[in-house]
């Protein structure tokens, strides 16, 4: 049996990952690092209330087998590009760096379709830079999933995203653009957990839209 580490548990994908990890017979312990309490109780669950700006005070707790990283926000919610970059890039990279230093072997990340460290689009460049920086850390296995819009019930309503979801479902009929159609958060979580526990997958593995669906439903 293994232990899991999770950052981003209060988000859409993070909630599904936590639920699936708690139900899994593979993991005996799940350590969640969060800025606010979780309304979940389990003998397998340990919630660490932390400040991501003070990682030096809790870095020694980042110990386990598999790290799942699903932190992310919108620029509207963050308030600025700099604030979003902290949440979407800097904090996850700091946690990953200490995880690698502490002996964590495997890592799974939610990135984004179109992520590219050289993109002129801020969001795509930010996601691409994190993909690149995580890869350079050299985990034994690194899984990156790259969905477009993530589909599922959120605590907060995002009107623009709801409208976009309806339109983007049509992309599955357009060759070359189907990777941008929505992917269900539950399926993304399943893909990440399954991939980290698949002995036939080694090294660096990436899943875009079709691969997420095909692999999770295999």
CA distances from 133 to 116, 117, 126, 207 (A): 12, 10, 11, 18
Question: 3-state class of 7 per DSSP?
Answer: strand
Which tens digit of pLDDT belongs to each residue from 160-187?
A: 555 555 545 555 555 555 556 788 999 9
A 10 A CB-CB count for 43 gives 8
Around Cβ 39, how many Cβ atoms within 10 Å? 6
Identify the burial level of 130 via C-beta atoms within 10 angstroms of its C-beta, where 0-12 means exposed, 13-18 middle and 19 or more buried: buried
What residues have CB less than 8 Å from 83, skipping those under 6 apart? none
pLDDT per residue as tens digits for the range 31-57: 999 999 999 999 999 999 999 999 999
Per residue in 120-146, pLDDT (tens digit) is 999 999 999 999 999 999 999 999 999
Q: State the average pLDDT for the chain.
A: 90
Per-residue pLDDT at 177: 55
Amino acid 175: pLDDT: 55
Instruction: List all residues 6 or more positions away from 200 whose beta carbon is below 8 Å from its beta carbon.
Output: none
Could you give all domains of the chain from N- to C-terminal order, each with its CATH number?
2-216 (3.40.50.720)
Residues 6+ apart with CB under 8 A from 54: none
* Angle, vertex CA 36, rays to CA 185 and CA 83, nearest 5: 75
């Amino acid at each position: 049996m293994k232990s899991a580490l999770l950052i981003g548990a209060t988000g859409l994908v993070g909630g599904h990952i936590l639920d699936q990890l708690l139900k899994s017979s593979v993991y005996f312990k799940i350590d969640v690092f969060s800025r606010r309490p979780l309304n979940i109780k389990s003998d397998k669950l340990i919630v660490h209330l932390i400040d991501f700006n003070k990682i030096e005070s809790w870095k020694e707790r980042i110990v386990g087998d598999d790290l799942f990283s699903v932190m992310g926000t919108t620029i509207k919610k963050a308030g600025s590009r700099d604030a979003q970059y902290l949440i979407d890039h800097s904090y996850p990279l700091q946690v990953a760096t200490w995880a690698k230093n502490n002996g964590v072997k495997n890592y799974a990340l939610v990135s984004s379709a179109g992520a590219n460290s050289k993109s002129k689009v801020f969001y795509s460049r930010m996601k691409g830079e994190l993909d690149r920086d995580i890869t350079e850390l050299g985990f034994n296995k690194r899984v990156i999933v790259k969905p477009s819009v993530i589909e599922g019930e959120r605590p907060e309503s995002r009107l623009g995203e709801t409208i976009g979801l309806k339109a983007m479902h049509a992309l599955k009929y357009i060759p070359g653009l189907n990777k941008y159609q929505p992917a269900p958060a539950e399926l993304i979580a399943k893909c990440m957990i399954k991939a980290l526990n698949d002995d036939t997958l080694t090294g660096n593995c990436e899943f875009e839209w079709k691969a997420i669906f095909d692999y999770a439903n295999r």
